Every structure is written in C-alpha cells, then in structure tokens.
Amino acid sequence: MRAVLQRLLDRFRPAPWWNEPVYWSLDLETTGLDPKSDRILSVGMVPIRHGAITWGDRFYSLTHPGSFEGLTREAITVHHILPEELEQAPPLGTVLPEIAERLAGDDSVLLAHHAPLDLAFLQRAFRGAKHPWSQPRVVDTRLLISRLEQRRHRLEPYPSPLPRALSEIRAHLELPACEYHHALSDALATAELFLALRERLAATTLRQLT
C-alpha cells in the first residue's frame, strides 16, 4: 500500500532532477538464484551523490548464511566465497540495519542491475528478520538498457540487440573491465554503467529513469 501511495504522490509532484537523489548501487552474492531457498552471502553498496560516485562511502560485508548446506561447489566457482571466510562473518540480521539506514532517506534510491532479483532476496530477508522494509524508489539498469535499445530502434533501421549481462553491456559501452561476481565490485560496476546509460538516454529527471 505504501508503495502505491508513493507512486501516486510521485506522479503529481514535480519530478526531481536526476542528480538530486542519492543512488545506492547495490549488489548481492548469494548461494543461488532462488530467493525462496537460497541465502545472501555478501552485500556491496556504492553511493552516487550529485551525479558522482563517492567511493569513500561504500559499504561491504560478508554475511553468515546460518547453514552451509546451499553453498555448492558450483556457486563457489562463481563468487569465490569460501565457507571459512564466512565462519566469522556477521549474521544477516545485523547487516540488514546497515542496508536499511542507507535506503531510508526520502532522497534515497536503490540502484541495481536486474533489480527484481535483488529486491526479492532483500524483501525476504527483511521479513524473516522482522525488520521494516522502507520500499525505496528503484532504478534498474537492465530497464535502462531496454530503453536505450528502443531509442536506437527509432534512429537505426536494424540495430543489433544490446547485451543484458553486466560484463557484456559494459564492454559494449567501452567501460573498463573489472572484477565480476564480487558484491562491492559489481555495485561499483553498476554505478558506472548507470551513469553511462543516463548520459546516453539524456535523462534529466528521476522519473525518466524509473
């Protein structure tokens, strides 16, 4: 209900300029891709303030999954997080307030690449910990890629499809290569991708990005 009311209010109030909010680029590493059964292993968050990445205010934490049952060899080959690294990690319940604090402000926006997946994990985690979820405004870079593709269709007769994977779209846009499948590195990669997409879309307001 709160999210519906927020959307109604946003529709009738003047749209803020795109660089007025604080975007918190977020990435999660998990034991798998099923929010109903898999667990969060690490969280990375990188803020964008006044249109610029403020790396000094980044946040990163491993989280103890409670059980290593879902930590398969296949998952480890992707994120390279070993069980021994997680032994002394804080439980997710103590990390959630760190996430909530950064997303709680009226000017805070959650930024993610394929946001529905991260949101599903976060919402389940917040419900499980009985911690209130602030339902922040969300910007999804995959949605922005789709909008850029639609724009190209209006300008070019037969444009090639744009890649959706984070590493591939960054390479396509000639952004520098970086380490992938690390929550903090992917959060930074998403923040950089967002700024590149925003410029190519010539978006001037937050409403044009959500």
The mean predicted confidence, pLDDT, of the chain is 92
User: Which pLDDT score, from 0 to 100, does residue 1 have?
Assistant: 58
pTM: 0.91
177 neighbors 187 (Cβ within 8 angstroms): no
Burial class (CB in 10 A: 0-12, 13-18, 19+), 147: middle
Mean pLDDT along residues 67-76? 86
| pLDDT higher than threshold 70 for residue 9 | no
pLDDT band with cut points at 50, 70 and 90 for residue 133 = very high
Per the document, the length of the chain is 210
User: Where are any strands of DSSP class E within 75-175?
Assistant: 108-112, 137-140
| pLDDT higher than threshold 80 for residue 105 | yes
| pLDDT higher than threshold 80 for residue 13 | no
Give the lowest-confidence range in 6-20, 80-94, 189-203. Answer: 6-20
pLDDT digits 0-9 by tens, 50-64: 999 999 999 999 999
pLDDT digits 0-9 by tens, 169-183: 999 999 998 989 999
Indicate the Cα dihedral angle 49, 50, 53, 54, nearest 10°. Answer: -50
Instruction: Please state, for a pLDDT cut of 90, what percent of the chain lies above it.
Output: 78
Mean pLDDT along residues 28-51? 96
| pLDDT higher than threshold 80 for residue 158 | no
